[in-house]
Structure 1
């Protein structure tokens, strides 16, 4: 990423808004905004979420595994405003093969580190977990508040979007799907 170009773009936008860049509070704003996008919002943008899913364990466990309330923030690709929410990942291990909980959370973190659509992020995560974990099934649920809806346009604070991606056994076995959905609401 080109920090200098991002900083110049922010400076140009601020000038276009007729902001006085000599004011004390605005002097460092282009640098701070550039750092926010590069070091915070998009720091893992060029990483693949699957790269953290490399260590697996054999456990005497073949029931559903759920990791809930994984906090994440991403950026809407339409307005470059954040959306902030929680992810839930549920999978059924195959051959008693499990992954560490922190690896699931880290994959969510990496996937969220780019401008995107929530729907795409949900599907991407489900596909990555199916490919790398090789489970019987995966269900990914994201719920997020989009600041582009809160701060502009329709201006509806507190409204959340919920997306799910369902793979494997959860697509075909209604009882398993219902059990997974119930785990989300516990």
Structure 2
């Protein structure tokens, strides 16, 4: 697994140019640390550039005991944030990941890690779902994969149409979960009501 390191000095220089280009003074007190802060944020936002997500899945997949595979595994409500490649504005949402095991099971903690890796790069929501499905399919060889993403996009809520209540849902499927009936069953389970969660204990 490799990733491309972010060139922070180059980002800082670019931010200085942007601030000057919009007519503000990059040297004033409120903006003096902005280039550094943006570079730090971009290093986090784009940490997934160059990461092989299928390798992350492969490393987390373990052989299943015969007869103990289960019919369907669903990990719901995995929060993610990504950056739209068209305007470099964030989009925030949740991922629901379902798979039908083949001969290997995926550690449940690996699902959020893979979602984070694929989301941490300039993205489109449609491609994000497809790349997640491809990574799970290639890394764990399941019988089927379904990825449902629901997200709110900064490029829709803060500019142009400014539709602050709008969200976007995308679906990507592979294998047996591409079948209409199987996909409908998985989608129904993903959308099933959640039990209220108990409050976290106070420290």
TM range (shorter): over 0.9
Alignment equivalent of 2:52, drawn from 48, 55, 58: 48
SS at match of 1:43: coil
Instruction: Indicate whether 1:61 and 2:65 are aligned.
Output: no
Gaps of 5+ in 2: 1-5, 193-203
Residue 26 (structure 1) aligns with: 31
Specify the alignment match of 1:13 in structure 2.
Answer: 18
Unaligned runs of 5+ in 1: none
Matches within 5 A, 1:95-174: 95=103, 97-172=104-179, 174=180
The answer to whether the 8 A contact 1:62-1:94 is kept is no
**Given the alignment of the two structures, is residue 183 of structure 1 paired with residue 189 of structure 2, yes or no?**
yes
CA-CA distance at 1:94 after TM superposition: 1.6
Q: Which moved more, 1:108-117 or 1:14-23?
A: 14-23
Report the Cα distance in structure 1 between the residues aligned to 2:15 and 2:46, rounded to whole angstroms. Answer: 16
User: Given the two structures, how large is their TM-score scaled by the length of structure 1?
Assistant: 0.94
For residue 109 of structure 2, give the secondary structure of its aligned residue in structure 1.
helix
Q: CA RMSD in A?
A: 1.2
Instruction: Find the aligned partners of 1:2 and 1:118 in 2 and give their Cα distance.
Output: 25
**Alignment check: 8 A CA contact 2:56 2:139 kept:** no
Q: Give the TM-score taking structure 2 as reference length.
A: 0.86
* 2:97 matched residue in structure 1: 89
Runs of 4+ in 1 over 4 A off after TM superposition: none
Aligned length: 183
